[in-house]
Structure 1
Amino acid sequence: MYKIFFKRLLDFIMSVVLLVLGLPFIIIGSIFIKIDSPGPVVFTQERIGYKNKKFKIYKLRTMDLVPFDSEGNRRKDKDRITKAGKIIRKLSIDELPQLLNIIKGEMSFIGPRPLVLRYYHYYTDEELRRHDVRPGITGLAQVNGRSNLNWEDRFRYDVYYVDNLSFLLDLKILFKTIRKIVSGADTSVTTRPKNLKDFDAERNFEKVR
């Protein structure tokens, strides 16, 4: 009953409440973004969602809009993070607009993190099961290493979550997430290890589907 009905009900109620409470932080963050760098306040990107359906995710923009340097080389993400973006990521305020995704039924508070569309072709059938539940703002992989995990370990956590989804597991993940935000450990300002490639590059661009 929790997986089928109560999880979605709790997601909807809590996201509405938190969106109201978080609105001042979104407004303040938006002001600092506009002052700090030119461009839109909200970053949108298509991701793979529940049952492999694509959807548009919302986040506060934390990077500048200049992807290439003066010599035409692609800049690393960590070098594009703005001053305001570092603070916003540290406090995880950039994730607040995803409450709209939850209200719309595209996401949940807890579940596997939604990844970019181009990765779809490289999942094994077992890894693809991570999309059998709604993607989340935080998840089991995020509280067990986040960017320090390799792709295979991330997906093992995701599939484990799908197979063991329960109220108690969600509660455990929620408390661990809060603890990490308060302590500043593994927040979204953390840059991923140098040896962690994009998932399609990790699979040598050999498509499965």
Structure 2
Amino acid sequence: MQDLFNLNLGIIYILMSGVLMIILGRKYKFTDSELKQLNKKFHHVNIVRYRNRDEQEVLNELENIAKTEPIDILVLNTKVTVGNEIIKYITKLQFAKQHKRLKIITMENLMEKYLFKCYIPEDNADLRFLSHIKAFGKFEYITKRIIDYIGSIVLFLVTFPIIIYARNKIKSESPGTSMFKQLRVGKDNIEFQCIKFRSMRLDAEANGAKFASKDDDRTFHWGNTMRKTRIDELPQIINVMKGEMHLIGPRPERKIWTDQFEQDIPYYNERHLVRPGITGWAQVMYPYGANAEDAKQKLMYDLYYIKHWSLWLELKVIYKTMLVVIGRKGV
């Protein structure tokens, strides 16, 4: 039991009847969007500091809260070793009649069960999460290729009029080639020619590569519409049919960005264990990326997708992508 509490994880407990979540410890610092998501599931979220506080003070706070509501879930989220008195108190709670449903889980479990992303530590002190990330097996790969072929054919037939319209619209608003090829990093860190509809001016990178951002001023009007509705990604059906991409998977990035991300996120290459996709779990769960922190957040979703791949998850991505397209919630 001591080992459990000494994990680099922290404390959160959830009072299901009162729909209250208390977070003790700040090893993993929740983003505003994560707290917003948790608040949708649990009526109220309180953060209780642990580091640099007197153990008795923290214990008193826990005791006071435990007297008001039955505790259902306890999640560890502290980097420092939890004091013996707090450990004894928490373990005794499991035998109290009021807290019979109490379960102790890790931060990894919390992230994956309620936020649908993999926990990534703030530092490199604990890399155990990497041991669970692996490339798709033969069954998963064959299943995905069947989905790729069927999905690509259906997608092409449904969007063919849009493809024709998009090409003509691009040429009328921004004369020049309607499609372009760009080297992107794929499976096993190997680059391939990714095909896209051009959504920016021809001189968009005259001053060098630059992150695309929301309402990017380098896009023309129709280009901005294509980006928001993902129409600019449709030509990648060709990449899928060639086997360079899947219909669903981590979005392919340019090597200039992946090299940069690796400086801040050494394990960023884990996402290249599988083929990239036209759409993906990170794309439908996180708005857009403009820096290394956004890349890390998206990586958490990509790793969750790789780790928990299933036909059901595949269908969820397709459904959420449709909502993005219809609601124009993309970048």
What's the CA shift for 1:168?
1.0
Partner of 2:122: none
1:180 corresponds to 2:328: no
Query: What TM-score do you get using the length of structure 1 for normalisation?
Result: 0.79
What's the CA shift for 1:120?
3.7
Partner of 2:304: 160
Q: Deviations over 1:28-52 (max 9, x none)?
A: 1111111111221102100000111
What's the CA shift for 1:125?
5.2
Partner of 2:59: none
1:81 corresponds to 2:219: yes
Code of the residue aligned with 1:166 in structure 2: it is S
Asked whether the equivalents of residues 47 and 57 of structure 1 are also in contact (C-alpha less than 8 Å), the reply is yes
Q: Deviations over 1:135-189 (max 9, x none)?
A: 011111112123167221111111121111111111112111111221222x1xx
Distance 1:5 1:161, change over 3 A: same
Report 1 or 2 for greater relative contact order, CA contacts < 8 Å, sequence distance ≥ 6: 1
The residue matched to 2:301 in structure 1 has which SS?
helix
Partner of 1:16: 153
- The percentage of counterpart residues that share the same residue type is 37
Code of the residue aligned with 2:172 in structure 1: it is I
Q: Where do residues 55-94 of structure 1 align in structure 2 (5 Å cutoff)?
A: 55-67=192-204, 78-94=216-232
With 153-162 and 140-149 compared, the bigger mean Cα shift is at: 140-149
Runs of 4+ in 1 over 6 A off after TM superposition: 72-76
CA RMSD across the alignment: 2.4
Number of residue pairs matched? 185
Partner of 2:235: 97
Distance 1:169 1:25, change over 3 A: same
The residue matched to 2:195 in structure 1 has which SS?
strand
Asked whether the equivalents of residues 151 and 247 of structure 2 are also in contact (C-alpha less than 8 Å), the reply is no
Code of the residue aligned with 1:83 in structure 2: it is H
1:138 corresponds to 2:279: yes
What's the CA shift for 1:74?
8.9
Query: What TM-score do you get using the length of structure 2 for normalisation?
Result: 0.51
Q: Where do residues 100-119 of structure 1 align in structure 2 (5 Å cutoff)?
A: 100-119=238-257
Distance 1:51 1:28, change over 3 A: same
The residue matched to 2:281 in structure 1 has which SS?
coil
Extract unaligned runs of 5+ from structure 2.
Answer: 1-137
- Matched residues in 1 for 2:258 and 2:328: separation? 31
Code of the residue aligned with 1:81 in structure 2: it is T
Q: Deviations over 1:107-144 (max 9, x none)?
A: 11111100001234342553211011110111111121
- Matched residues in 1 for 2:155 and 2:256: separation? 31
| Candidates 237, 260, 267, aligned match of 1:126 | 267
Partner of 1:202: none
Code of the residue aligned with 1:127 in structure 2: it is Y
Asked whether the equivalents of residues 127 and 156 of structure 1 are also in contact (C-alpha less than 8 Å), the reply is no
Code of the residue aligned with 1:52 in structure 2: it is N
- Matched residues in 2 for 1:180 and 1:24: separation? 20
Partner of 1:30: 167
Asked whether the equivalents of residues 258 and 268 of structure 2 are also in contact (C-alpha less than 8 Å), the reply is no
Q: Deviations over 1:61-92 (max 9, x none)?
A: 111112379xx799985111112212222332
The residue matched to 1:39 in structure 2 has which SS?
coil
The residue matched to 1:87 in structure 2 has which SS?
helix
What's the CA shift for 1:5?
0.9
| Candidates 102, 125, 142, aligned match of 1:5 | 142
